[in-house]
Amino acid sequence: MPDAPGAVAARLTGTAAVRERPLSASLAEVALDDGRTVMVKRGDGTGAVRAEAAGLRWLAEAGAVHIPSVHGHDERWLVTDRVPTGRPSPETARRFGRDLAALHCAGAPAFGAPPPGGPRDAFIGLAPMRNADGDDWPGWYAEHRVLPYLRTAVDDGAIRPAETAVVEQVCERLPDLAGPAEPPARLHGDLWTGNVLWGEDGHAWIIDPAAHGGHRETDLAMLELFGCPHLEEVLDGYQEAAPLADGRPDRVGLHQLFPLLVHAVLFGRTYAEQALSVAARALRNC
C-alpha cells in the first residue's frame, strides 16, 4: 500500500521499514531497518505539513530547545524523530525554561514572520493562521491574531455580536496594556502542554509548532493556559536566562486571548466565554 505509514517512511527517508504501529488515524510509529524509529504524520494537503516542517527546522536552528529532526516530508506526510518519553521533574522544567528563553532570543525578522520556506497561510492546530508581517506587537497582534478569530467566532455563532465590544476595547488599548516594547521572538506558537514532551534523556522536547515571529510572553501564557508540569520551575529557569518585564502576570490574559478565540472557533461557546472573561479582566487590570 503506497500510502501506508511504513511505505511513506521508506519513500521519504530512503530506508526500508520493518514494522509500523498506528497511534491514531493520522499518526504512526515506524521502525526502520537501520535501527531508527520515526513518527509518520499525515496532513490534509492544505500546506499544514510544509508549515510544520519549516517550523521544526527553524526552531531547531536556534540550537536551544530540543526539537525532533525532520527526516522527510511532502504535501501530505511528515516524518520526524520519535522522542522516547519519561517523567517531568523540577530540574528538567527549569532547564526547559532556560532553553525556551534561548529559543525566543534567537529572534525573528518581524512580528508574524513565517519560518524560512514556510507558507504565509499556515495553521494553529486545525485553524488557519495567516502570517503577515508587522512592525509593532500591539497593532500586529490585534489585526492578525485577535480580530480575525473574533469575527469568525461571531460568524459561527460562538460569540454574539453584542459581546464583541470588550475584545475590541482590549485591542484599542493594547499599546497601553502590552508592557515595554520588545523585538520579535522566535515562537513555537502553539505551546500548550500537549506539545511538550518530557524526554527520558532529561530534556523537554517541543513538537507540532505554529512557528512565527511574536512576543515571547505568548508562549509562556500558552503553557499557563492549559497547565504545564512544574510551571513555576519553567518560569524560574526562563527568568534566570532572560528576565521578563515587570508586570507579566497582569499581561497573561492578553496573550491567552488569541488561543482562546482559536478554540472558540474550533470548539464553540465554552472557550468563547473564557475569551470574553479574559478580555474583561485585562481591562480591569489596566
Of 53, 81, 109, which marks where a domain is finished?
81
Q: Are 119 and 51 in contact (CB under 8 A)?
A: yes
What is the per-residue pLDDT across 105-147, written as a single tens digit (0 to 9) for each? 999 999 999 999 999 999 998 899 999 999 999 999 999 999 9
**CATH for 73:** 3.30.200.20
What is the per-residue pLDDT across 224-280, written as a single tens digit (0 to 9) for each? 998 999 999 999 999 999 999 999 999 999 999 999 999 999 999 999 999 999 999
In angstroms, the CA 68 to CA 55 distance is 11
Whether 29 and 106 map to the same domain: the answer is no
65 lies in which domain range? 5-81
Catalytic residue among 99, 190, 208, 219: 190
- 253 phi/psi in degrees, rounded to 5: -60, -35
**CATH for 208:** 3.90.1200.10
Could you give the number of structural domains in the chain? 2
In angstroms, the CA 5 to CA 166 distance is 47
Whether 73 and 112 map to the same domain: the answer is no
Whether 209 and 75 map to the same domain: the answer is no
Whether 72 and 101 map to the same domain: the answer is no
What is the per-residue pLDDT across 68-86, written as a single tens digit (0 to 9) for each? 999 999 999 999 999 999 9
Q: Are 196 and 59 in contact (CB under 8 A)?
A: no
Whether 146 and 171 map to the same domain: the answer is yes
Whether 222 and 261 map to the same domain: the answer is yes
Whether 99 and 28 map to the same domain: the answer is no
What is the per-residue pLDDT across 141-187, written as a single tens digit (0 to 9) for each? 999 999 999 999 999 999 999 999 999 999 999 999 999 999 999 99
Whether 117 and 196 map to the same domain: the answer is yes
Hey, which residues does 214 pair with through a beta bridge? Answer: 185
Q: What is the pTM of this model?
A: 0.95
246 is catalytic: no
In angstroms, the CA 225 to CA 124 distance is 15
pLDDT band at 1 (very low <50, low <70, confident <90, very high): low
Whether 155 and 239 map to the same domain: the answer is yes
